[in-house]
A and B are shown apart, each in its own frame.
Chain A
Amino acid sequence: MHRTGALYGQFNTLEQQKDTASLGMWIFLVTEVMFFGGIMLAYAINRHTYFHAFAVGSNTLSIQLGTINTGVLLASSFTMAMAVWSAQTGKQKLIPMFLTLTILLGFIFFGVKYVEYAQKFHHHLVPGRNFDITYCVNNPEKCEDIDAKDLNIERNEIEEAMQADPDLNAHAQLYYSAYFGMTGLHALHMVIGAGLLIWLLRGSLAGRFTPEWNTPVDIVGLYWHFVDIVWIYLFPLLYLIDRHK
């Protein structure tokens, strides 16, 4: 199938092409909803059955870093929407600017995630790999990044939880399975999104996107907003369990 300008050969009009691309992306996002839905179900059932383990696990996460990441991702949705607006209104210079901001915010997110993941590995909180929920509490010198006050709170939490659930260590692995599974899947989707954004950036610098034809920006935007929505749910589900102690 040949192309004439922006129009692909199987289409009759640009309008049909836009309509098709948009519907295609929305349907794809529905598949992503079901994909994440599966792991959400696993989370829901395990959280109910092993609430204490999930609470302990959640409290080892940094609420500051989580909130920063949430803010960063929301802001990136804003800049993405502005990129689409710039394309729709023909403000050629602004498109690459907003796309770049979106990519930068994405990279900040990755950076924070990296810090969090590294901390988990260091603190023996990866399921299957020498997992030990009591590692930092028993070896404070190995976990200097947690200060003594927080460590005490954590020790008390773990002791209390162990009363209710003697198998806390085994069950806490389920929390971290959910944590790594859900955030890992999310991060993978963000990496793909970042790749798409970089591709868009190149196109925008070449002036490909006009008020007449800006569909790629539009549909990558849809994908990026969806990834944001997943995080909007992940944040309270993973970071905010039983925080009021």
Chain B
Amino acid sequence: MNRQAIIELAGVSKRFGNTLAVDDVSFSVNRGEFCTLLGPSGCGKTTLLRTIAGFEFPDEGDVRIAGQSCLDLPAYRRNLAMVFQGYALFPHRTVLQNVMFGLRMRKLGTPAEIAAWAKDALAMVGLQGFEERHPQQLSGGQQQRVALARALVLKPEVLLLDEPLGALDLKLRKAMRYELKRLQRTTGITTIYVTHDQEEAMSMSDTVIVLNRGRVEQTGPPEEIYRAPRSAFVGDFIGESNLLEAVVAAVEPDGHLRIRLFDGAATAAAQPAEPECPPQPGDAVMVLVRAEAIGLARVPQVDGDWFAATVSERSFLGATTRLYLKVGAIERVVIADLAGAPPVWAENGAQVHFGWTADAALAYSAGSIDSASGRQ
């Protein structure tokens, strides 16, 4: 057993009626770690968080807090603090009373101490002077800070956050991301964060757990998840990627694959994503290529594999420009993110060529087509 682990889930399953919301999930979160449960809606991430908080009880498996099974511990006896989606601030209480609530309930100090701590917590999130307001009189971002103060003031063993930034506008969301990360680092509190926003997950976490259909797809630091997605689903869900159907034509001596793609119209090199059981010639595979890994040229280059395409749309994204490339007669659209200003010749309707290096294309066995859902 890992002595550092504060939260451990072992083989947790949870069923709602006929739906298996969580399917045999195991993971552990270390002390001081910022861990994110990331996945599309319905992947079971909120159910897992609610299971840790004690609002749901697993049908199978065990949940341990600091090494102790907590399945027979009701929610109000667990030393965890949660920030709810929509914040769940008490509308009949002032901001200060909201922050004092947990301290009072857990009888952590004298009334004077409790009021002083609550004021400190409000100051920490930058809300001095708002003590006597009611939550309804605050903006979304301010309510968010109250919810954070209400949780952090308890100095809980673990902070649970359920899509805490979901209700804020983009600008505020990015500012709060930084703020949250700063608070987490200064307090050193173990944090479990639930989100469907991959950017949030990547920018804040020490560890990301990618979930799909109630199962863990991959666990690891953000860089690893981005660079070496273990399934086509993960690669597709994180970052902007192209997911292309292909057939393996040959396995080369260096381990690289030759694949036929675009309905067999072209061949390219790719790297098997699961080297332990690489696909064999004739196997159907899904090939994942990051949008930023795609290079563009006016004429085919001598080295590597290049494909002819038509620029069907360009959209300016600031630091990058995204091109939508239509490939041949099959009208498969490939997206390419080019750093900086794109060449002038790559205008709408222009004939161009694009390609990638063999290492940038990851080939997954086609069983994972299924799990790659409908995202494009």
Whether A and B are associated in the same complex: the answer reads no
Which of B's residues lie within 8 Å of A, judged by CB?
none
